[in-house]
Structure 1
Amino acid sequence: MTQSREDDRRGARSPSAAIVDAAFRLFAENGYDETSVDDIATAAGVSRSSFFRLFGSKEMVIFPDHDAILAAVEERLAASTQKSAILAVSDAVRVVLFHYIAEGPLARRRYRLTSTVPALRERELISGSRYQQLFRQYISAWGDGSEESERRGELMAAAVVAAHNRVLRRWLREECADPHMEIDEAMAQVNALFAPPSGTRAVVVVRTDQDLDAVAEQLRAL
């Protein structure tokens, strides 16, 4: 019966998961450049054609499905208006951040790998720029079309991505015990930087599960 359960667990493991696990193990043991697609397919117990059907390239094994994440981010932004822009941007940032956090150890393995392989690091930077362009597109669209509004959109988009990257990298390096709290604090600072001029009314959006006394203390600090 024990063996049967073990077989069931193995059977439940998808070919794509087996490929990812084998790839990262071989990258750690032999190096990224020295590991071939054939090496990965053999270690994962799949054919070469199955590998390419699932991933397309060795590089694609490493990175998450950015197209799917971008689509989720755009869906959240597209559902917003100027009045709810701050909430939409904050929610969209969390879509990206918590996708990585949900990956757990895999995200940290990727971080260690991309930190040592320049070509992979370049690919990661390109992916990050796609998020920034998307944020800029929507933040600018919520403005009045003026040069000031366009500049504000570009600067805020860069700040939003920087806030996300800081929290994510701290979590990847195991320096961050509570990414939920840290992204809330980081986005509060971004929103404060781009708050309406003094004398106008600002709206602060927080999660319903947050302690209001703690939120008030954060706002006083800002």
Structure 2
Amino acid sequence: MPTTVRDRLVDAAFELFEQQGYDATTIDDIAARADTSRSTFFRHFRGKDDVVLPDHDALLARVGERLSMSAPGSRAIALREGARVPLDHYLAEGPTAMARYRLASTIPSIRDREIASVQRYVRLFAQHVHGWLEDDTDGPLRAELVASSIVIAHNHVLRRWLRGEQDEPTTRAGLDRALDRALLALRADPSAGGATIVISGPDPDVEQVLEQVRAALNAPR
């Protein structure tokens, strides 16, 4: 059950979008379904697109707060937990998040704003990683690689859940596995020198080779 006026407005909007379509639904319709007024709607949202989209400002603030509390020995953990913030939000929304995904596939204005929000997350992660690697010659490049990889990994796993291809536990485990790969550039240590060599037999299994590479990169030097 929605507990705030904002929640009632969001629930009312999605109910109406499902019943009569996005374009046919007016702000007055949403306010009436939520048993409130048009002026109350505009105290919470600027328009129909805003009632559809999650509060990315709040989510970004939570991610940034988690990243800012990281210590040198726990940066990978901070990045993982930061990536889980938006995933946890979407999973908690459940059907609302899935309905939003369907709308974004058909309403260009919603799709464009979701795409723009992705870049905000990339910039946020890159800003923090760049600060951690500021003394590294390749720091700016590695920061961009790590940030982009984290967001791509998150969105890949999230979309599978939004399409109903996997359940919540599988999605959480899938994010952990995806982040293993996304964080490889963070763990790279150019100052260590030398090369890491992985030897596989004929016709190697790609997944097995990747696991060998991950284990080699994580091994103490």
Superposed CA RMSD: 2.4
What aligned pairs does 1:72-221 form with structure 2 within 5 A after superposition?
72-177=62-167, 178-197=170-189, 200=192, 219-220=211-212
Unaligned segments of structure 1, at least 5 residues: 1-8, 201-217
Cα offsets for 1:172-194 (capped at 9, x unmatched):
11112311210110011112354
Whole-angstrom CA distance in 1 between matches of 2:5 and 2:110: 23
Q: Which runs of structure 1 show a deviation greater than 6 angstroms over 4 or more consecutive aligned residues?
A: none
Is this contact kept in 1: 2:125–2:147, CA < 8 A? yes
Q: Is the alpha carbon distance of 1:31 and 1:147 closer, same or farther for their aligned partners in structure 2, counting shifts above 3 Å?
A: farther
SS of residue matched to 2:106:
coil
How many pairs align? 197
Q: Which residue of 1 aligns with 2:41?
A: 51
The separation in 1 between residues aligned to 2:75 and 2:64, in whole angstroms, is 13
In the alignment, residue 116 of structure 2 is paired with which amino acid? I
Contact conserved, 1:115 with 1:121, CA < 8 A, in 2?
A: yes
TM-score, scaled to structure 1: 0.80
Structure 1 distance, partners of 2:80, 2:3, is 35
After superposition, the Cα gap between the structure-2 partners of 1:199 and 1:153, relative to the gap in structure 1 and judged at 3 Å, is closer
- Worse overlay, 191-200 or 22-31: 191-200
In structure 2, C-alpha distance between the alignment counterparts of 1:151 and 1:86, rounded to whole Å:
17
Cα distance change of structure 1 residues 13 and 93 upon mapping to structure 2, 3 Å threshold: closer
C-alpha distance in 2, partners of 1:34/1:109?
16
Deviations 1:81-135 (A, max 9, x none): 3332111111100111111111111111111111110110000011111111000
Deviations 1:20-76 (A, max 9, x none): 122112222332222211111122221111111222322211111111111110111
Where structure 2 has 5 or more consecutive residues not aligned to the other structure, the ranges are: 193-209, 215-221
Residue 175 of structure 1 aligns to a residue whose secondary structure is: coil
- Give the alignment's TM-score, normalised by structure 2: 0.81
Change beyond 3 A, Cα 1:13–1:91: closer
Give the aligned partner of residue 206 of structure 2. none
Q: Look up the match of 1:213.
A: none
Q: Measure the CA separation in 2 of the matches of 1:37 and 1:199.
A: 58
1:185-209: CA deviation from partner (whole Å, max 9, x where unpaired): 0011112354324895xxxxxxxxx
User: 1:81 touches 1:142 (CA, 8 Å); kept in 2?
Assistant: no
- Following the alignment from structure 1 to structure 2, what is the Cα–Cα distance between the partners of residues 13 and 185? 35
Tell me the percent identity. Answer: 43
